[in-house]
Amino acid sequence: MRELPKALTDLSDLPQWVAWNDTNGRKIPKALGGGNAKSNDPSTWGTLGEALDEAERNGYTGVGIELDNGLVGIDLDDCVHDGQIDPWAQEIIDEVGSYAETSPSGTGVHILATGDPGTLGALGRANHSKGIEVYNHGRYFTVTGNAINDAGIVDATDAISSVMGREFPEPSPEDTLKEELARLAKSHVSRRANETVSHNVKRDSKSGVRFARVPMGLHTCDFCNMLASRGFVYWSKESAGEFSHWHADCRCKVVPGVPEIQSYWKNGVHVTRGFDPSVEGYDPNSFLAVKGNSAVTRDANGKSRTAPAATSRNQQSRASGLPIGVHAKTGNMDQSEYDEYRRELEQARRLKQIRLPRNEYAHVMSELNTHLSKEDRKHAIIKKSIGNYTYTIVNRGFGDYLIVGREPID
């Protein structure tokens, strides 16, 4: 790597540097000390000197810096042609007025600046039609040192706000209404499809078909958790609490199955549970211990009394290794992993879904459902290289993925 300009060496003591390696066209961030770096794990980052040592020791391609703690990265794609920067990109470079360099491919530009997080909020936006992305968390930028200006890393809060307002304008009331109508239409289609499935399986009711409630959303209320904890024991979608009947934001689905019914007494309570092993990952046990749940038990004299659920969320999570409300596909987690997952999930609530062409979206979803590693499923924010792009995905459990970013692989 060439000698880095002063703007970057001024950041040398910032513990946000990583190494990176080109692997079949993918820019893989490398942790200091081995393995891959994670944008949500500062323990895998280090200083510039440490990152350079790691890259040299392992023969990696170069170093990069994580966008965090007020550091903002602006990625301008496909804007350098025959050594000249396109006017639209030069306008943004001049407006921000901070350090800028060409990307590893030589066809794009990376701008690094600082910006007040309290003013800018969480930045994670992409306009792929124009080729501009802006981030201040959850990403790293490769660093080439091939500067195209003499600027330092400056506070560009106002300029970045201006760029965001121009390149990513807030939707008009008309657009907001269209999005809401589209959401309602999608919900209606999903509901009708669910009703069709329910109607079709009624013909098999004599064969033991029953229904279960499966929470799908980012947050699940106690009532839905209670219904889900019984598994496949409901004779109809109505008795399972068909999702349109409870609250507006409920993302639960009612699905059919042919279960193995278990019936037993526990703490003086008669429990009936239905397990269908053919439904991958659905474990009603994971919804048992929820806040507010109570059970009727009997004391030594046989009198009934109301008692709280036997274990708390955290206690049950430690016992089963499966976090409450999280699909088994996220992988078995210990308590520290689950706590980290929840922190990521809270952070992910600020990220907005991006729109992809239908065929591309279907391809990405297929890849996520079939090729996502167990380790990745332990995280709420995932980066996955698929085809020519690296996607940022929010893993909301139950195979419910939200695509919030897409970055071309240079």
Residue 117's region, left for phi above 0, alpha for psi from -120 to 50, else beta, is alpha
The DSSP code for 400 is -
So what's the pLDDT on residue 350? 80
So what's the pLDDT on residue 264? 67
List the beta bridge partners of residue 255: 212
Task: Report how far residue 30's alpha carbon sits from residue 66's, in angstroms, rounded to the nearest whole number.
Answer: 11
Task: Report how far residue 338's alpha carbon sits from residue 287's, in angstroms, rounded to the nearest whole number.
Answer: 15
Q: What is the DSSP string of 331-353?
A: ----HHHHHHHHHHHHHHTT--P
Residue stretches of the chain with pLDDT short of 70: 1-2, 176, 183-208, 216-223, 237-239, 241-251, 264-271, 277-335, 370, 397-399
pLDDT digits (tens, 9 = 90+) for 84-94: 999 999 999 99
**Domain edges within the chain:** 6-167, 190-325, 345-408
Strand, coil or helix: what is 308? strand
Task: Report how far residue 46's alpha carbon sits from residue 31's, in angstroms, rounded to the nearest whole number.
Answer: 8
pLDDT digits (tens, 9 = 90+) for 23-81: 888 899 999 888 899 888 899 999 999 999 999 999 999 999 999 999 999 999 999 99
Residue where the block lists tokens 């297929």: 366
- Residue type at 275 in one-letter notation: F
> What CA–CA distances, in Å, run from 23 to 143, 208, 309, 394?
17, 51, 50, 24
HEC profile of 167-226: HCCCCCHHHHHHHHHHHHHHHHHHHHHHHHHHHHHHHHHHHCCEEEEECCCCCCCHHHHH
> What CA–CA distances, in Å, run from 58 to 31, 32, 34, 61, 170?
11, 11, 9, 9, 45
For 75, residues 6+ apart whose C-beta sits below 8 A from its C-beta are: 103, 108, 109, 110, 111, 132, 133, 134, 135, 141, 407
So what's the pLDDT on residue 151? 95
Task: Report how far residue 71's alpha carbon sits from residue 130's, in angstroms, rounded to the nearest whole number.
Answer: 23
So what's the pLDDT on residue 63? 95
CB 401 within 8 A of CB 368: yes
Q: Return the ∠ at Cα 52 (arms to 47 and 54), rounded to 5°.
A: 95
So what's the pLDDT on residue 199? 55
Task: Report how far residue 391's alpha carbon sits from residue 376's, in angstroms, rounded to the nearest whole number.
Answer: 13
CB 139 within 8 A of CB 39: yes
- Residue type at 231 in one-letter notation: G
> What CA–CA distances, in Å, run from 60 to 53, 55, 127?
10, 5, 30
Which helix H or strand E contains 271, and what residues bound it? strand 269-275
